Structure 1
Amino acid sequence: MDMPGFLRELPKVSLHCHLEGSIQAQTVVDLSNKHGIALPDFDEPEELYDYPDIYEFLKMYDIAAHSVRDHDDFRRVTYETLQEAASHSVRYREMFWSPKVHLDSGVDYQTAVDGVIQGIRDAEVDLGIECRLIADINRMETAEEGLAMVEVVTANPRPELIGVGLDYAEAGNPPERFTEAFKLAGDHGLHRTAHCAEDGPAVNI
């Protein structure tokens, strides 16, 4: 076996993945067409993911996320990203997902989380990959919005959802804004993590 083949077959753990950031380009097109959502102009679906910096990435991230609207959509995007991971011999993945962006689209939390978890469970049965979820807070929003998201998550516990995180654009959005939200998550036994010092100061760590 050559080195690329050896590395592909080597069992792996994936500890940093975003569900909405790993939706396949063709799936974004399919779901946008299904729900009548306009997309930027493109010739090939992969061009949708051609972005120069994190801010343009976040714009596309939101477009992709808004294309996911019903239980089957959530199940599909979750299963597909785990299928891709399993093809590289990933055995365990911890995956961020963004409940708030879907709530803002008018999607019921139960619909979203049940679809995601169905995808996780189906992938575990079919592919032998285990996955756990981290619900992320959008640090560009207010402390009240972050707390409200954690309140929804903690009011609807799922064994597959093990933590709360903090992401989106860091500059000008200090982590201490979400102290109360993180405390609530900890009080309910959830792990806590955050993206830090990506485009903000090292003191955020």
Structure 2
Amino acid sequence: MMSLMHRLPKIELHCHLDGSVRPATAAEIAEEEGIELNCSDLRELTERMTVSPSCTSLVEYIQRFELPLQLMQTRKALTRIAYETAEDAALDNVRYLEMRFAPQLHTRGGLTVDEIIGAVSEGLSAAEEKYGHCVRMILICMRHHGQIDNEVVVRAASRSKELGVVGVDLAGDEAGHPNELHTEVFELADRLGLPITIHAGEAAGACSIRSAVEKLRARRIGHGVRLREDAELTQVIRERRIPLELCVISNVQTKAVSSMENHPIRDYLDQGLLVTVNTDNPTVSGTNLTREYENLARRFRFSEKEIRRVAQNAIEAAFVDEERKEQLRERFEREWRELGLLAVES
């Protein structure tokens, strides 16, 4: 029988395109483009694209992106991978998906940033049309890129709203390239009216979360597991109702937290923080939102009421307009009623 957690409607706010490539698709693209992967079979390829249980750091985790990025340098490949990522989410009953990617990482084959955004949009739109969910894009600026490259991304995001771009992000080596290096870029994003989410409090401490909010004008925080190191800042985040994009399984794999037992998600929820739960990288982490929800129930004793609250938080945190949010609320209410769970109040 299909599990209840699978059947639940879901919202995904933090999912990386290059961390979501199907291994079988990677093999086919490599064959079509004549790229030598040096893998004997699909099993070995999958192992190279999936993090090891013995992973010791974020640096080791990030190495799993090197192979997919080799294969994501043509319009055809980007469109296909975008479509399949959105399809996988739909089959997991994700009703709203924000898919993020860094356009500057896909220019090796000569594509422009605008062409890359267009290719991804084409794939996501085709999946939307087939499955009836809502899929939007967040464009990532990389911490190790210079101001000029990142300004190109921000300006492209501003002119690509009609293609489904709803915000911008900053990702990469958080400890080695602090937020302060990117203040001007995100001031520009704010002036252009782009919602901002920042990877912070993952590989660096709570001070990174503070500067993301105060200097980069973040409306959401990606990860934020180290927020608990600063009680005063925790209160600020709660009072300002700044959502946290937690990715529990990934957070343990990257050693942002030392173990599942030490993950702060239960404490954060109990403190009234706006917790959302996400996959981060479905292929790299070997996860999906069903698995994430099952983990919440099994390891953190989340009740159906609390899982529903997580989803409702994500609707409120989504970078879309109020009309779309109301449609999502109505759809959730209907689907929870059909599952016999409407009596579970938030």
TM-score by length of 1: 0.89
Larger Rg: 2
Structure 1: runs of 5+ lacking an equivalent: none
Shift of 1:22: 0.7
SS in 1 for 2:162: coil
Measure, in 2, the Cα distance between the counterparts of 1:35 and 1:139. 30
Instruction: Let me know the Cα RMSD of the aligned residues.
Output: 2.0
Measure, in 1, the Cα distance between the counterparts of 2:10 and 2:24. 26
Shift of 1:25: 1.4
Shift of 1:23: 1.0
| CA contact 2:79–2:119 (8 Å) conserved in 1 | yes
Task: Show the counterpart of 1:25.
Answer: 23
Q: Which amino acid aligns with 1:16?
A: H
Measure, in 1, the Cα distance between the counterparts of 2:101 and 2:185. 16
Q: Percent identity?
A: 30
Measure, in 1, the Cα distance between the counterparts of 2:80 and 2:157. 21
The counterpart of 2:80, out of the listed 47, 57, 76, is: 76
Matches within 5 A, 1:1-205: 5-39=3-37, 41=39, 43=41, 44=43, 45-51=45-51, 52=55, 53-205=57-209
| CA contact 1:42–1:48 (8 Å) conserved in 2 | no
Q: 1:145 to 1:32 in 2, by over 3 A?
A: same
Measure, in 2, the Cα distance between the counterparts of 1:124 and 1:50. 27
Query: What is the CA deviation profile of residues 39-72 of structure 1, one whole-angstrom value per residue up to 9, with x for unaligned ones?
Result: 3545413112233242233233133123123332
TM-score by length of 2: 0.55
SS in 1 for 2:120: helix
Measure, in 2, the Cα distance between the counterparts of 1:161 and 1:31. 26
Query: What is the CA deviation profile of residues 67-124 of structure 1, one whole-angstrom value per residue up to 9, with x for unaligned ones?
Result: 1233322221111111111111100011111101012442222332112111111111
| CA contact 2:50–2:64 (8 Å) conserved in 1 | no
Measure, in 2, the Cα distance between the counterparts of 1:5 and 1:147. 45
Measure, in 2, the Cα distance between the counterparts of 1:82 and 1:195. 22
- Pairs aligned (count): 203
Q: Which amino acid aligns with 2:59?
A: Y
Shift of 1:155: 4.7
Measure, in 2, the Cα distance between the counterparts of 1:25 and 1:56. 19
